[in-house]
Amino acid sequence: MSLFSLLVALTLAYYRPLPREDWLRRLFLPYAAALERNFNDGQAQHGVIASLLAVVLPVILVAGGYTALTRINSLFGLLCGIGVLYVTLRFARFGSVAESIAQSLRANNLEGARAELATWQACETGTYSEREVARVGIEATLRHAHHDLFAPLFWFLLLGPGGALLYRLAYLLKNAWGDRNGEFRHFSLKLFDWLDWLPARFTAGSFAVVGDFEDAVYCWRTQAASWPDEALGIILASGAGALGVRLGEALTQNGALQYRPELGLGDEADADFLSSAVGLIWRVLVLMGGLLLLLTFSHWLGN
């Protein structure tokens, strides 16, 4: 059932994607803002309560509904699982945009590529060179593939539809409360870090398996810790090593030159590497599907 739910949800998410500002985010952000207004007095313990209400309470309701529907009729449970995955996964968020940027770069349309990247990442790209556009595009592709696809799938496979929703809401909450909340925000950050610890290493390991294994593991071990966000550093370093491309490095952001550690080995980023990053994501998806298929057959044989 998990395999069928996953295949149907991925097909729907790819061919009939939700708008970029999906309804789950639009529904959740006012809820998170209301909790912040009512609970934020600067104390950490109130941040814990608000975080649990924001993330855990909806998950309990969804998981309970899924269990009840499954007991009534397995078809109802199947449809519920597909629906939760469909609104949770952001399958179309990275591949089509990255390929469009790569095509613009190949056509020597740097301004078009900059504009597409700026819209995608909501950042200033007016001074980016061709290599910087490709580099940031690859980083965004790897990052979105993890946060919007592989990590929710990881928790879905472990905990069912509630697991996928748990990760997605924790990610939305982390971004919704921003950097302004001090101690109140501390638990929401820790909650996301806990939920991201295993999936980040699973994603990085998958990049290594389907790409250049030796370089991916080397970059993971020697470069990831230098990135400000260690979990993201693991993903980007492994992905860069798997692709054989250099990421990171200094970048002009908001009119200022920002130092970023170098990640990866090999050549400078370009349009071909950006397309290769999309291919890397597809290979990981095939790997995950194959593993789930093996687990499904093992379960059937065991029964």
pLDDT of residue 302: 59
Q: What Cα–Cα distance (Å) separates residue 115 from each residue in 127, 132, 281? A: 11, 13, 24
What is the CA angle 158-225-153, rounded to 5?
A: 20
b/e burial code for range 72-83 (CB count within 10 A of at least 16 → b): eeeeebbebbbb
The model's confidence at residue 185, banded by pLDDT at 50, 70 and 90, is: confident
CA-angle at 55, arms to 4 and 10, nearest 5°: 20
Question: Residue 262 — pLDDT band, cuts 50, 70, 90?
Answer: very high
- Helix residue spans in the chain (DSSP H): 2-15, 23-39, 44-72, 74-88, 95-106, 110-121, 130-145, 151-159, 161-176, 183-210, 213-223, 230-243, 271-302
The mean per-residue pLDDT over the stretch 13-17 comes to 77
Record the tokens describing residue 160, joined without a space.
């069912």
pLDDT band at 299 (very low <50, low <70, confident <90, very high): low
Average pLDDT over residues 218-232: 92
Distances in Å between the Cα of 39 and the Cα atoms of 32, 173, 177 are: 10, 14, 12
Q: What number is the average pLDDT over the span 272-276?
A: 94
Q: Which of 116-120, 156-160, 295-299 has the lowest mean pLDDT?
A: 295-299
Number of structural domains (the chain) is: 1
Average pLDDT (42-65) is: 89
Range of weakest confidence among 95-109, 188-202, 249-263: 249-263
* CA–CA gap between residue 57 and residue 210 (Å, rounded): 37
CB 267 within 8 A of CB 131: no
pTM value is 0.91
The boundaries of the domain holding residue 29 are 2-302
pLDDT of residue 7: 81
